[in-house]
Amino acid sequence: MTSTTNGTAGGGPTNTWGPTFDPYDNTPELIPLRTAAQAGDWPAVRAFLTGLDSVDKLSTASSLLADLPGVENFLERAAAESPADPLPRTLLAERYVYIGWDIRSGARADHVSRDQFTQFHEWLRRAEQLLIEVCAEQPSYAPAWTARLMTARGLQLGQAEARRRYDRLHAHHPHHYRAQVQLLQQLCPKWGGSWDAAHGFARACATEAPDGSNSGTLVALAHIERWLDLDIGEDAAYMRGLPVRDDLRNAARVSVLHPAHRPDWNTIGAHNAFAFAFSLGNHWEYAAPHFAFLGDRATESPWHYVPDHRSAFLKSRKAALESRGGGTR
């Protein structure tokens, strides 16, 4: 895509208020979608989404839409009114997934109550049944398969089933970034996978994708997941290690730092993943180009993995940019 996102060429704006984690601030092109959704204006939402020129954009936009409280009301009406249209059912299903996940994560996760799990699963089942239909009708419909990776995980349908879903999607969209991010979660030990599977998948995503694709970011995301799982002390040592640093550096080179990279709606998230991962290992000089691109444009993920994500971002950015021999302003 040729993006009109502000500052795509790098050196994004910084301001005295510090980083913004708001996806709409970071990608103002998405603001009309939010406006339409909050007004319950289905025709406008539909027009916005059907006007997008890539499935990656559609997937990203649909996940943002699914995070807006109350959209299920107009989506339910739209799905009922257009039973043959995959779009409203898929958006509704993804919204159900978010509702369910909010119930599950709302409490302390190690003590999610039986009742919360029941409700969580109930929402996911509602979503899944819509998605089964959509995928049966439109086997190449990426947003539905991507959402089915989330239902498969939440409903604990198993590694092989999640992989089957990804493979069905992969047959039509071999480098679908959001789906790759979802499957990576499933492949981590916390969801029944293994580190071999997670790192192996991330490596495969990176090597199979064309130069400049976001898919190389999976390598960084896998290391971040590994770091998250390690005990305090071990985690920092892991990220400081040279093998991880080199792995990250190679992945960044073939993806978001490659000259062929064309920024899209996932680019900001991808740079944040690299910036975060390099910062965890104090590899400031490697974090620098990512921060330079980002400016103030931060993303909740992965920064929410550290306590004060705002100051962590600022601190890391400062250290990274200073390692280049001077700040930006």
Partner 1 sequence: MTTDLHEHDRDSGLAALTGLVSHTTTQHIPTLYAPASGNEITAGLFFRVGRADETLATAGLTHLVEHLALHRLGLSDLHYNGATANAYTLFHVTGSEEEVVRYLNSVCAGLRDLPMERLETEKEILRTEAAGRGGGPQQQMPLWRYGAQGYGLSSYNELGTRSLTPDQVRRWAETRFTRDNAVLWITSEQVPDGLDLTLPQGTRFPAPAATSALPTTPAYISGDDGHVVLTSVLRRSTAASVFADVLGRALFQDLRQEGGYSYSAEADYTPRDAEFATLTAYADALPQKQDAVVGGFVDTLARLRAGRIEQSELDSVRTKLLKMYDTPDLAAAALPSYALSLLLGHRILTPEQHRAELNAVTTQDLREVAREAWGNALLQVPGRGVDWAGLTLAPQHSQAAVTGTRHRSLEDDEVTLVIGAEGVSLLTPRGPVTVRYDACAAMTTRPDGARVLTGHDGFSVTVEPTLYRGVTPDRVAALDAGVPAAAVVPMPAREPDQIPQPRPRKRTSGPRSSGNGRSTWGWTTALWLVGLLAAAWGLLCGIITADEASATAPEWDAVTGVWILELPLAFATWKIYTARRQRTRS
Q: Does residue 137 touch partner 1 according to CB under 8 A?
A: yes
User: Site residues for partner 1, window 82-121 (CB under 8 A)?
Assistant: 105, 108-110, 112, 114, 117, 121
Q: Which is nearer to partner 1, 238 or 258 (CB)?
A: 238
Sign of CA dihedral 53, 56, 61, 66: positive
When asked if residue 31 is in the footprint of partner 1 (CB under 8 A), the reply is no
Single out the residue of 164, 175, 310, 324 in contact with partner 1 (rule: CB under 8 A).
164
Cβ nearer to partner 1, comparing 259 with 307: 307
Give the residue among 93, 82, 12 at the shortest CA–CA distance from 42. 82
Size of the site for partner 1 (CB under 8 A): 46
Q: Scan residues 290-319 and list those touching partner 1 (CB under 8 A).
A: 304-308
Q: Using an 8 Å Cβ cutoff, are 284 and 320 in contact?
A: yes
Q: 288 burial class (0-12, 13-18, 19+ CB within 10 angstroms)?
A: buried
Of 117 and 238, which has the nearer Cβ to partner 1?
Answer: 117
Which residues does 12 contact at the CB level (< 8 Å), separation at least 6? Answer: 6, 293, 294, 295, 296, 297
- Near partner 1 in 218-277, by CB under 8 A: 228-232
* The total number of residues written for the chain in this structure: 329
CB of 229 to partner 1, least distance (A): 6
Helices (H), 107-216: 114-137, 142-154, 159-170, 177-187, 195-208
Nearer to partner 1, 141 or 293 (CB): 141
User: Least Å distance between CB 45 and partner 1?
Assistant: 25
241 neighbors 294 (Cβ within 8 angstroms): no
- Out of 1, 44, 64, 157, the residue judged to bind partner 1 by CB under 8 A: 157
Is the Cβ–Cβ distance between 301 and 221 less than 8 Å?
A: no
Distances (CA, A) of 300 to 26, 52, 158, 284: 12, 24, 28, 20
Among 95, 163, 245, 261, binds partner 1 (CB under 8 A): 163
- Please say which residue, 18 or 32, places its beta carbon nearer to partner 1: 18
Rule CB under 8 A: is residue 167 a binding residue for partner 1? Answer: yes
Select 174 or 212, whichever has its Cβ closest to partner 1: 174
How far apart (Å, rounded) are the C-alpha atoms in residues 135 and 90?
9
Binding site for partner 1 (CB under 8 A): 105, 108-110, 112, 114, 117, 121, 124-125, 128-129, 132-133, 135-137, 139, 151-152, 155-161, 163-165, 167-168, 185, 190-192, 228-232, 304-308
